[in-house]
Structure 1
Amino acid sequence: MTQQYPIGTPGKPWKDAEKKEWFEQQRKQRDYSNDVIRRIDHLREQFDVETYGELNYDGRSFPLFVVRSRNWHVDRPTVLVTGGVHGYETSGVHGALYFLETEAVNHLSRFNILVAPCISPWGYETINRWNPDAVDPNRSFVEDSPAQETALIMNYLAKHKIAPCVHVDLHETTDTDNSEFRPALAARNGTTNDNWNIPDGFYLVADSSRQEPEFQRAIIETVKPVTHIAPPDDSGCLIGAPMVQEGVIEYDARPLGLCMGMTDAKFVTTTEVYPDSPNTNPVECVDAQVAAVRGALEYAAGKC
C-alpha cells in the first residue's frame, strides 16, 4: 500500500524548505526532564552518572547521560545497553531505566555495565523517529555522523576506550511506522513507500556479520514467559526480512549505520517490541526489554 505524505512533492527529495516545514509541525508531547532525568538522578546513589554531551534544539537544551558501574574493573567484560535511539520508542527508554532500577545489580559482579537510556531526547519529547534535521539517528552510526545524537555517544565510547563484549539496543516497531514514519521517509527521499506488515509480538534483529544464533535464541527463550514472540508473515518474514530462527531476523548493521554496529561487541542484538498489540500493554513491553537484557547477560557470562 502506498501513501502520499502531506509535505513535499511526490518523487522529489526534500530540500531545506520541506525539512523546515516538517520541523515546524512538531510539538512537545511529553517531558524528558520529568520522565527520564528524574529517574536517572535517583540512580546516583548506586551508579556513576556522567553527562557525555548536550543537544540544543529550538532554544532548548537536552543534556545526555550515561549510567555506569561505580566499581569499574578494566579486566571485567563490559555490557552496553542503549535506549531511545529512536526517541518515540517508549519501552526502549523506560526498559533501559527499569533495567538499572531492578536487574542491573544482579550482574555487577560479572560485568561492567554502561547504559545510555535516551540517546534522542528531542525525539522522545516529540514522539519522533528523526531528529530536528529530519535525520534518522539509527541510520547515522557512521564516521562523520550527520546526527549529533549518534556522534556524541560514539565519541564518548571512543574517548573512554570502551569496548563492550555485549551490546543490547532497545527498540519498538509500532503502528506509526506505517502511518507516519515510512511515508515520511519516502517523501523525504523522493521515493515510493510500500508499507510492511507490523509483526505482532517481540522479535530480535541480529547483525548478519556477527552471527551468534545461540545468543539470540537465549534471549528469545528468556522473553517468552514475559510476552509473546512475533510469528512470521505468510512469506516467512518480519518487516520484509527472512526469519532465520524463531523471532529473529538479520541486518548487516554497519553499512546501514545502525546503533548495534557502532562497536565490535561479540554479542549484539536489537530488540523490537510491538506496543500496539491487543495482546500486550506498556508494562509488559518494558518487562520484555528488561528480560531481553537479562537473557543476554546470562548467556554471555563466562563467554566474553
Structure 2
Amino acid sequence: MKNRCHYPIGTPGQKWTEKEVTEWRNQTQIQRSYQQDVVSKIQQLEHHWIVESYGALSYDTERYPLYVLKNSAWHPDKPTVLITGGVHGYETSGVQGALLFAAQHAADYQADFNLVIAPCVSPWGYETINRWNPNAVDPNRSFYQDSVSEEAALVMDMVAKLDGDILVHIDLHETTDTDESEFRPALAAREGLEYIEDNVPDGFYLVGNTEKPAAQFQSAIIAAVEKVTHIAPADTQGKIIGAEVVQKGVINYPLKRLHLCTSMTECEYSTTTEVYPDSPNVSTQQCNLAQVAAITGALDYLKSQD
C-alpha cells in the first residue's frame, strides 16, 4: 500500500488560487547564489566562448540575467547542438555539468559542431532549490507558444533566432528524493488531486522522444554514462517513473504533448538526462561528470555517423 499525504498548502480537492500560490511563494527562501555559483563561472569562459545575454527574469532583472554560450568557430554548414541545464533550477548537476563541459571538454567538439549552451534556464529555481518558478509554474511543462513561463519563453526566443537548424538537443536534469517528498505532493495539491507516493529510480536514466526515439543514440549515451555512475533498473513492472523501459536505462515521452524543453525544436536527436544525486554510491562530482559523459557520449556517437 502506497502512502498518501496532505500538502500543508491548499484545501484537499480544490485547485490553488492566487492566494495559495502567494502562500507557497512566501515560504520559499534563497538558499544559494546564482551569481556566485553560475554567473561567475560563465564570466571565466568569456575568452573561449561568445557569451550573450538573452534576457533577464522580471522577478529581479539585476539578480537573474540569462546567458547562453556559443562557440566562436560558428559556421552555418556545421550541425548545431543545443545543451540546456537548470530548466528545473533545483537540479544542480544539470547546471554544473553544462558548465563543466563548456570549460573542460567542448574544445574537442567545436571543429565539428556549433555548440549552444544555456547552462541555467531557471536561476530563481536554482537559488531557491525549486522545481517551479515564483508563480508555481513548471518551466519544463511550458514550452509552447505564448508560454506562461518566462524561463521557457525567453530560451525559446533565443533558440528561434539561431542561425541554422538544431540537430541535437540535450537537456540536463536530475531525479531526486525531493521529487517525492516535496515536488510531486505540491503538484497534486496545486491541481486539487490526491498525492499517492511513487518510487524514485535508483540511478541514471534517459527520456527520449516517442516520435523520434533514436535508439542507437540513446544507447551510446547510456554506455558512456555507465562508466561514471550506475544506470537505473526497471521496476517490477518493467517501468521507470511509470513509463515503459524501451531499452536499458531509457524511456520515451511524447515531448510535444507534454510541452517539455526538448520539444522546442524539430531536432532529429533529443534526450533528457536524469541523474540520481541522492544515491549513497555517488558524489556531487560524479553527478556532474555523468552529465558531461552524456554530452560527450552523444557527440561521439554523432561524429561516428559521418
Using the size of structure 2 for normalisation, the TM-score is 0.97
Matching residue's letter, 1:213: A
Q: Which residue of 1 aligns with 2:295?
A: 293
Alignment match, 2:269: 267
CA offset digits 1:152-188 (Å, max 9, x no partner): 0101111234521011000000000000000000000
**Number of the residue aligned with 1:77:** 79
Specify which of 65, 68, 73 is matched with residue 67 of structure 2: 65
* Secondary structure class of the residue paired with 1:301: helix
- The offset of 1:56, in angstroms, is 2.4
User: More displaced, 173-182 or 188-197?
Assistant: 188-197
Distance 1:59 1:151 in 2: 15
1:138 is aligned, of 132, 137, 140, to 140
Structure 2 letter corresponding to 1:198: V
Aligned match of 2:260? 258
Instruction: Note if 1:28 corresponds to 2:30.
Output: yes
Find runs of 4+ consecutive structure 1 residues off by over 6 angstroms.
none
State the match for 1:232 in structure 2: 234
Per-residue CA deviations over 1:10-68 (Å, capped at 9, x if unaligned) read 01000000000000001000000000000000000001000001012168631000001
Q: Which residue of 1 aligns with 2:149?
A: 147
Contact 1:166/1:300 (8 A) holds in 2: no
Q: Distance in 2 between matches of 1:257 and 1:3?
A: 28
**How many Å separate the matches in 1 of 2:296 and 2:168?**
11
Equivalent position of 2:46 in the other structure = 44
What do the CA deviations read for 1:244-265 (whole angstroms, capped 9, x no partner)? 1000001000110100111111
- Say if 2:35 and 2:63, in contact at 8 Å, map to a contact too: no
Distance in 1 of aligned mates of 2:188 and 2:60: 25
TM-superposed CA distance for 1:195, in Å, is: 2.3
- Say whether the 8 Å CA contact 1:164–1:264 is kept in structure 2: yes
Alignment correspondent of 1:6 = 8
SS of 2:184's partner is: helix
Cα distance in 1 for residues equivalent to 2:260 and 2:231: 23
Equivalent pair of 1:267/1:300 in contact (CA under 8 Å): no
Match of 2:170 in 1: 168
Q: 1: distance between equivalents of 2:197 and 2:174?
A: 16
CA distance in 2 between counterparts of 1:273 and 1:160 reads 29
Percent pairwise identity: 55
C-alpha distance after superposition, 1:251-303 (max 9, x if no partner) = 00011010011111111000001100111111000000000000100111264
Q: Which moved more, 1:256-265 or 1:53-62?
A: 53-62
Q: Aligned pair in 2 of structure 1 residues 62, 150: CA closer, same or farther (>3 Å)?
A: same
In the alignment, the residues of structure 2 paired with residue 151 and residue 224 of structure 1 have an alpha-carbon distance, to the nearest angstrom, of 34
Give the aligned residue type for 1:236.
Answer: G
Greater mean deviation of Cα atoms: 156-165 or 246-255: 156-165
Runs of at least 5 residues in structure 2 that lack an aligned partner in the other structure? none
Q: Secondary structure at the match of 1:8?
A: coil
- Count the aligned residue pairs: 304
- C-alpha contact (below 8 Å) 2:209/2:253 kept by paired residues: yes
1:108 CA displacement: 0.5
Is residue 5–residue 187 contact of structure 1 (8 Å, CA) maintained in 2? yes
CA contact (8 A) 1:171 1:271 kept: yes
CA RMSD of aligned residues (A): 1.2
Instruction: Please give the alpha-carbon distance, in whole angstroms, between the structure 2 residues aligned to 1:31 and 1:235.
Output: 41
- The answer for unaligned runs of 5 or more in structure 1 is none
State the partner residue of 2:99: 97
